[in-house]
A and B are shown apart, each in its own frame.
Chain A
Amino acid sequence: MTRKFLVLSLLFSVVLLNFSSVSFAAGMEAEEGKEDPTEFIMHHIKDSHEWHFVTVGHTHITLPLPVITYASDRGFEFYNSSDFQDPQTHKFGKEFAHNGIYIDDHDHLGRADGASILDFSITKNVVMLFLVIAFVLYISISAARHYQKNGAVAPKGVASFVEPIVIFVRDEIALKSIGPKYKKFVPYLLTLFFFIWTGNLLGLLPGAANLTGNIAVTCTLAMITFVIVNVNGNKNYWKHVFATPGVPAALLPIMVVVEFIGLFTKPFALMVRLFVAITAGHIVILSFIALVFIFESYSIGILSTIMVASINIIELLVATIQAYVFTLFSAMYIGGAVAEHEHDDHH
């Protein structure tokens, strides 16, 4: 059935190919020129002060978001993102400054007088963050409620979806990577896994924000892991950093520097890995979609749709794997910090 449909649609597109490219291209060029695909992709990947869903003709359907600013001399101020943009084109720019504050065409907030100002706006990604948090709260608390209501019984409903993941994180990630002291860290690892996984999956929805592919988000998560690792680091861990066992005294100064840098490269790797994996996936999907606008032909449209669909399936996998990997590596770093035995055999 699917195969027949694919073959038919391909044939159909080949027949239509000639005049379609002429007529539709003509229609498009009548507008203000083709959209730059890089601009198109970056617009979807980056954060923004407003949530742009779709453009129908010349009408932009957007969700204006709150802009919250802080300046030492002015305190906190609240605006609407539509205060800073052209009402027709929805473009931000210095020329649309409002109350001495502007958002430039790169979506940066600034002050007309050049003084420094902090941007605490509820941006597209912050809204997405709240959605992800609400979603995670909903599923985990309704799962937990099942046990509170029915006692320690077999799972049902949402609980039967959440429970295997909880057991997996507890037994396969926490217990195996951290060892006997794993219990204290299971709640953090669970939260981390559910947050990243939900963020990754919701980010794949059309029109959604690229939350877990944002460097600020991955950076924050990596920082929290970094803090947990180093706060819980025991004597062995610090001895390993500042007096690595089995290293000749002459090499110790170099090793201390290397190990000290190593403290920071671990969270840095966490940050970059998640950011790159998710952002790259989005870029690939959007690139295939952009092909449609570049070539403006049915055959490319069908091909890129097939490609987008297959890459979306891969992205579902990546979403899960990246959530797993971030959680696993966090657990391993914590495990390294709280382990009792010496790691002589590793170095």
Chain B
Amino acid sequence: MDLIIPSAGLIFWQLFGFLALLFILVKFAWKPMLASLAEREASIDGALKLAEQARNEMANLKVENEKLLQEARLERDVILSKAHDASLKMIEAAKSESSKQGALLIASAKAVIETEKKAALTEVKNQVALLTLEVTEKLLRKKLGDDKAQVELVDQFIKDLKLN
């Protein structure tokens, strides 16, 4: 066989063999393989895009959360300060109300006490007067049996009067 002259037989077999190889490989190897590679690349691309999207969403969510938190905090502060004011006011009101009530109570109690006292005093005075009258009556009945005692008593009275 020659070195640089192609032999027809080998050309025939090479052509036949290579075309058969090409046909079989295209059908059973390269087409399924290239399709799987393309599919895998597409899925990897998709996954990367999804991850990117998720990351962006997370960032957005975080910002939103921060905003919400901030708002909530502000609202809380407002509510707290309002509540504080309200409570202060209420305490204040309650305090003034109670002091008024106290004063009223005290005043009325004083008035009642005064009237009671006066009534009691009058009662006592009346009793004393009655007692005095009775005692005086009895005394007078007993003592003023004789004249001497009468005179003495009158003197006594007069002395007392003078002393007063």
Contact = CB atoms under 8 A, between A and B. Distances in A.
Interface of A: 42, 45-48, 68, 106-108, 118-123, 125-126, 129-130, 133, 136-137, 140-141, 143-144, 147-148, 151-153, 162-163, 166-167, 170, 186-188, 190-191, 194-195, 214-217, 219-221, 223-224, 279
Interface string B16-38: 01111110111011111110110
28 contacts: A106-B1, A120-B9, A122-B13, A123-B1, A129-B17, A130-B17, A133-B18, A136-B21, A140-B30, A141-B25, A144-B29, A144-B30, A144-B33, A147-B33, A148-B32, A152-B36, A152-B40, A166-B30, A170-B37, A187-B30, A187-B31, A188-B22, A190-B25, A191-B25, A215-B3, A216-B7, A217-B14, A219-B6
Given A140-B25, A143-B29, A216-B11, A224 B18 contact: yes
Nearest to B39: A152
Contact of A187 (B3, B25, B37, B39): B25
Contact of B24 (A121, A123, A137, A148): A137
B8 A119 contact: yes
A141 B28 CA distance: 7
Contacts of B36: 147-148, 151-152
A162 B31 CA distance: 14
B37 A152 contact: yes
Given A121-B9, A126-B10, A215 B4 contact: yes
Chain B contact residues, majority secondary structure? helix
Residue among B4, B5, B13, B31 facing the most chain A CB atoms (10 A cut-off): B13
Contacts of B11: 216, 219-220
A214 B33 contact: no
B43 interface: yes
Contact of B34 (A48, A151, A166): A166
A106 B2 CA distance: 8
Nearest to A219: B6
Chain A contact residues, majority secondary structure? helix
Contact of A191 (B1, B3, B26, B40): B26
Contacts of B4: 215
Contacts of A186: 30, 34
Given A137-B24, A152-B39, A224-B18, A120 B33 contact: no
Interface of B: 1-15, 17-22, 24-26, 28-34, 36-37, 39-40, 43
A170 B34 contact: yes
Contacts of A47: 1, 7, 10
A214 B14 CA distance: 11
Nearest to A153: B40
A216 B2 CA distance: 10
A126 B5 CA distance: 16
A215 B5 contact: yes
A195 B21 contact: yes
Residue among B3, B5, B19, B29 facing the most chain A CB atoms (10 A cut-off): B29
Given A47-B7, A220-B11, A163 B37 contact: yes
Given A151-B36, A167-B37, A187-B30, A125 B22 contact: no
Nearest to B6: A216
B12 A120 contact: yes
B18 A45 contact: no
